[in-house]
Each structure stands twice: as C-alpha cells, then as structure tokens.
Structure 1
Amino acid sequence: KRKNSCVFLLVIVEAMPESQSLLEIQQIVEKQLECTLCFSLLVEPVTTECGHTFCKQCLHLSSLHSACCPVCRTRLSGRLPATNTIIQALLEECMGDKYKARLAETKSTKKNQAPLNEESTLGLFILDCVLPRQHLKLHVFEPRYRRLIARTLEKTPPLLGMVAMNESQLSSVVSECEIIDHTALPDGRFLCEVVGRRRLRLRRDWESHDGYRIAAVQEWTDDPLTTEEHTQVEEISIKLKSDIDLWIQKVKETSWHTRRQLLDLVLQHLASPPVDDPEAFGLWITALINPLPPLGLAPEIRLEALTQSSSISRLRLCQRTISISLAHLNQRTNIHRSLLGFLLFVSAQFLSFLIRAISRTFVAPIALINRLLLGNDDNNNNHLGIIGRVHLPLEGVGQ
C-alpha cells in the first residue's frame, strides 16, 4: 500500500511545475484528497465505477437520494464499493496529524449518531396509525423517509414509529411497527411491509439532521379495571364475540370476491382473538373492522380506539361501531334480495316470451307440413286440392 501510494504521490508531484514550493504541493495534494460532498479529508475512501472518490458514509447518504454519481451523474450499481486502499494509505502517509484529527472527528460524530434507544426514542414515519398485528405496505420515495428506512434496517429488530396527523398536529399516539419485508430499488426507493407491534404515547418530538422526525415515546397501557368493570367487560366480550361472527358472515354474503379475499387475509394476519385480554381484544376488533386497506363497511375508529385509556370504553366503542356496520350490511342484504327477486321475475317473463315466440315461429309451420305430407282424414279433400296425397313406392319391399 505504501509503495502504491508513493507512486501515486510521485505522479502528482511530477505533473507540477518546478517552481511550486513544498507547502504549495502539500496544499494541492490535500485538495485532491478532499471529498467533494463534505469538503473534508476523505474517510474510508471509496471510488465509483466512473472514477470519482468520496467518503464511504457520504456516498451512502447520497445513494439514498439518487442512484447516480454526485459528480458526473453516471448511474451506479447500487452497491457501495470497497475501500480504496491506495488512497487510504496516501492519506495516512501524507496527511499525518490532519488525517488523525479527521478520524477522531468522524468517530465522535458516529458516536453521537449511534442507533437510538428503541425503548425511549423512535424515528417517525408520518402517514397513518397502525394497530397491533395490522399489516401495511409502504412505497417509500421521499428522501427523508428513505434515510429513515435505511437507518431502521441497521437495527435489530428494525423498529420505527407510525403516526397520523390530527388537525395539523402529530397525534398523541405512536404505533411501534417492525419492518418484516423490504426491497431496495435501484433508484433508492424502498418497498416495505410493516406490522404493528404496540402503541406508545408521544412525549415530544424533534427533527433529526436527516430530515425526518424523532419522538421520545413511552409505553401506553390501559387503566386498571375495577371488579365491577371486570364483570361488565366479560359480558360485553361475550356479546362482541357473537357479533363478530355474524359480522364476518354478513360481509362474506354481501361482498364481491375481492373484498372477501381481503377479509380472509386480515383474519390470517390477526390470528385468533385475544378474548381474555380486554385491551388487546378491543384493538383486535378495531383492526378487523378497520383494516388496511379499508373495507369501507364500518366507521373509522382506529385513532379513537388507540387513544382510549379505558378497556371498557374501547369495547363499547367497538360494540357501537359493529352495530352500525351490521345495520348497513342488513340493508345491503335486503337490497340484494329485492334486486335478485326483480331479476328472477324479469328473467321468467323474458323466458316465457321467448318460448311463445319460438312456438309461433317454428311449431305452427311444422304442424302444417306434417298434415300436408302425412295427410289428415278430416281434411283430405282440401289437401288433395293443393298438392295431392303422397304415396310412397313399395316395390322391392317384399310381400
């Protein structure tokens, strides 16, 4: 490495005029070893296919915005190149203390930008609230959210916060979501699928240096139930269980194939209902009747259900919402039955008309031809006057 770096340095020096002083040569070399993105000495230098060299971290951040070279706009492969060992050795040999100071500065910055404490802070994706066990597919194209996804994928597990806007402000509840599947596209976009894990309370938020917001969050659980409320919850849960079964049946009876497929997928994601846990059961019901994408068969209550601190209030909210949805589905059933009866009546009338038309068109002429050819004892004279009686030859038939 030292030999190659010295050869590289000699090439630079020999290309300079003899009048250049040593200090000027050093300044020119230092200028050549600067990153054109951060305008500082290169750290972990990487050279692209088109021949331009950048800091590894700088090129990574640039790739989140665009898949092209920042200098000449040549489309890159999408993979970060390996460290250029020749330029790395040249930096170590020629820049000396300056390079050591630059390394110390970079390490300090990385320490301050270490992965956030997942128990207290989360990067926020401002779009919609996601309920526990609920799945949501994302097409991430904004630069700030591409950086958020890239940062999140570096963690284990890859957790981020989904939050909705409530009257031009962030909602007080954050949905902790895990990225369970992702595809990085060549132009820097991401196709992701996230699943809701739990709800968190938003304490405060601020903007990160990458453009997306970060939130300080706290776990949000329901208030403890009294003995009387436990009894009420059990009664409501039993009633809700039967209402859910009826609701699923009505949706399948009154919906097209696509909607039934979506409902089956939602039930597969949600698994069996946690009837023994009032908080989880209320959120499970909400995720069923308000899935993503929406079925459009029940009023939207996700945000209201997430911000409830009382399990019994949430279950009553679900009970009212299912009652409204069932009334709507029953109305759809009556309309479908009326429409089906009308269609059957019209079909029967049309079939009767068709049979009569066919009879008039074909049956009467066929009967007339039969009478003319085979004869009729009551009307022989009339028929003979027209074409005469038809006699079949019997020669050769036998005795």
Structure 2
Amino acid sequence: MSSLPAHINSTDLPTSAPDDLDSPPHTENNNSDVPTSHSPPAAAAELLLNAVKDVRQIIRLVQCPICSNILREPTTLPCGHSICKGCIPRTHRRIGITYPGTDSRMSGFICPIPDCEKEHAVEDCALDVTLNKTLAIVKDTIELDRDAAGSSEVFTHIHIQDRWGVAGLPSLEETEPESRVLNGGRIVATYTLAETGKLDYRGEVSYSSVGVSDDDVEAVDLRVFARLKESVRAEMDCQVCYALFLDPMTTTCGHTFCRSCLQRILDHSHLCPICRRELSMQSRLDPQSFPSNKRLCKIINGFWADLVAVRTQAHRDEGQANSEGFDIPLFVCTLAFPSMPLFLHVFEPRYRLMIERAMEGNRTFGMVLHSMPAARGEPNFKELGTILRIVNIAFFPDGRSLLETVGVSRFRVTRHGWKDGYVVANIERVDDISVAEEEALEASETMGRNGAPSESGDLVEEIPSRSPSPGLLEDLNTVSTRELVDVGVEFVRRMRAQSAFWLTTRTLSIYGNCPTDPVTFPWWFASILPVKDEEKYKLLGTSSVRERLKICCRWIAEWESSRWLATSSL
C-alpha cells in the first residue's frame, strides 16, 4: 500500500515548520525547518545531535504558552495553536450570528494567543487526541530517565536567564537570576523545571555540568532524546495513510490526519473516519481557513525532519509525474448546482462515449455552461462548473440514454484538452469559507444592529429581529443570515399563493419543497427561478452562504420591482 495519497499537490506541503506564536527566539541550532532535499544517513545523525543541543526548544514543545506548565488536557484551537483546556478563557454568549445558529455554537471565547485574538466557538475546540497521547508518553519516558538519573552521578546546574539580558538589555529586575541543580541531563532537568512551574514559556536557560564532563551529559541527552523519538513515533502516524503525518490537521472532534488525507475523506463524507462525528469543514481545506496543527508540525519537523523531507520530495515527484493527465471529463451544456438534481438526455456520440466511461469509473463528470469564445482559440465554456454524480441511467436501443444526476461540488477549470471529441480538464475545488469565518462575516456586518459587548464585557441587549419583508432589501449588509433566508422563503410562499408559472407541481416534484436551510436555499432557488443563466452563474463563484443569499434577495427585489412596474403601467 502506498503511503502517499495520489492527489496531493506539492504546494500544499510545508517546506518548513509553520510560523507559530509559540515559537521561541531563533537560535543557531533550531532545526524546525524541513530540508528541501533528501537527507543522507550522516545528515540524520547530525540532525539528532543538533536537536539535542537545543534542549530548551524540545521542552518548549510540551509547554503551554499561556500558563507555561506542561500541557494538560491539550486543546488545539481553530487557529492551530494548542493550549491547556484549563487555559481557555471565560466563555460568553456570541452575538450577531444566526447561521448555523445552533445552541452548541453560541458559546465562544476570545483566543488568548496574541497572534490570533479571534473569537472561537467552544464547539470547535476539543481535546487533541494525538497530542494528549504524545504528552503522556513523553511524561512516562522522562519519569523512567529521571528514576535512572536518581541513582547516577549526573546532575545539571540550570541558570534561568533574565529575559532582558537575553535581549541584550540591562536588567529591569533587581533580583538575581534563579538557578537550580537537578538530577539528570539537560533534557530531564529542564522538563522537571517546567513541570514544577518554575520555567516561563518564553524564558531561556543556560547549563553547566555538575560532577561529570559536558561530553558525558551530552551522551545522556542523546540517549534520552533517542528514546523520546522512538516512544512517540507510533502516535505520529495518520490513521488514513498509515504514514508519518504530513501537514497535520486536527479536526473539531480532536482527531488528526494529513491535510491531503482529510481532503480525500471530505470528498466522499463529512464524518470523521474515527469517531463518526460530523465535520463542518470544506473539502479543499484552504490553509488560511483551516490552519495546520502548529504544535504537531513543530514536533514532527523537529524530530523527523529527514523523513518529512523524503515524503515531501516523493509528493513533488508524484505531482510532476501526473502533470500530463487530466482530472475529469466535461459535459459542455448548461448550469448545474450542488445538491440539486439535473436530468440529461444524452444523444451525441462523443457524450455517449463519455458517459459509458464514467459509468465504468466513479460515475462522475463535470458540467459547465456553454458560452461564446471571447477570441479565437478560447474555450467555448465557462470556467466554473459543478461535478455531477450519476444516480440513475436508462439506455435506449440506439445508444441514447436518460440520466438522473445530482450536483456534488463546484470547481474551476485550470487546464483543458480533448479526448475522443469531448473536453477533459484539470480542475480545482471551489469551496466556501469555514463556518467560523461565515459567523465572523455575519457578526461584522450586523453587529451595529444586533448589539455588541459593553466595556465591562457583558452583552448589550440585542435588538429584536424585524419580521422579513421586502423593505429589508434596502441594506442587505444589516440583515442577519437567518432573515435573508426568511425573505426568500416568504417570497416563494407568496408566489405559490399567486400560482406563479415557475412554481408548478411538476417543478416542485423534481426539486422538492422550498428548503429553509441557508446552505441549500440559494441552489434550490436558482434552479427554479426564471433568471438568466449569466445571473445564476454568479452563484458558482461565491465563497459564502451569506453572499449567495444576498444575490437571491437582489433577484427578489428586481423581480418584484419589475412586477410593480408592469402592474402600474396597466
């Protein structure tokens, strides 16, 4: 079994450990960067030696940046930083948010990490399973070495350096820097100091040996570090590809996977493969919206930089080997939308062949809207489209077929070619922003209307929501996401009462009754409303549920305005 998912892009792979607020000041021996080429065996030994020399960096990997203690019940936040569960600030009732609007997402807190300071939903913060197991193994390993050190003659004198002195500035404190003599080498002694709460997360230390030579202490540290690497290695394997994590991402349920493996999972299911909890994540997993687990990245890139380099290079080689291939066949015809049905009569020989091949494969193909080329040599289709999955198919004796399909996801064509008369293309996914970003967008646009935290931190009473009416369309930015949906649903209800020609029983039997879900409503509405395709096409390029609902509300405003003009002219 290959340990490298076939569809990962080399651009998704970090060539160095992600920048982290938790990062210590840069030191000579900081080896968190991933090599950009294969590391020979001699280099691997050198990496080990250099890593051991930077003992402070090793211990900082297991410290909480808030309380400075060894991480307890480590919780990885949506921003990718990890802190103790007990260091999560006091929660508050979130305001200005109606989508998704579930009770579990209405409790939030302001991130205590200075580089973030965004609002996080409590629901998005779970115990980091991988990090929790790793910390337990590290503790057990250190305990064994500490016990062994107790019966040996190895001691380390640790000097806690004044932070102003480290910065090259005169000390602003009159107290003498603290120093201690502890059992064991530098790794065990520094861990002990952090465990007792005497070592600030950002603090630096210096060492001197007691009773033995520096070479003897270094040999002890090498053995301890080698045992740490060996003992935690098993916890650093992805449960999808069964190889060392590559760009690890931790889900809201606390399980960690390679980013590429999680992308593959979300292509087919929105359930965590381990705990089966639903994941509110988009399959493209843009690093800006869904950051990597910064702590695990540092551990992996620091402990196994040589292995990460090999995997990274293998992904790059694989991507180059597949660069001449195409991802999917394209049906150049009409518009299609995610989660909506589309029925097709396939009669052209080229498309009959394409559908036969799709049925032999994964039963999917891309649908793009036909358009007139802007210039000679330009494609005759729009760049945005929808992946369709064949649900049912009926063949006629002459080779024609009737297809029942359903929209799966959106894409953008990046490169295209021809195969046996039909278009084939390389595509990239088009996904929405994360739920957290969607909530932040709504809150920022509606906050002036819905209230805001007072200076004391308490919430100002919210203004009651106005009942949905066309008057809300005057300034869509002030309207909550839920009200935007209500405007659309109310419009459909009125049109049904007036027996609108486009709301026939047959239409509703195909697309179903009007949904109230903010995600589904725009796609349903675009499928039935008699609006030009050029207008509907705009929905495919959006990245926000709220943005799509605004477009639908503008259609409603234009529709009712045109009906009013038509009535007034009679």
**TM-score (structure 2 length as normaliser):** 0.33
Tell me: higher relative CO, structure 1 or 2? Use CA pairs within 8 A at least 6 residues apart. 2
Instruction: Give 1 or 2 for the bigger CA radius of gyration.
Output: 1
Which of the two has greater helix per residue?
1
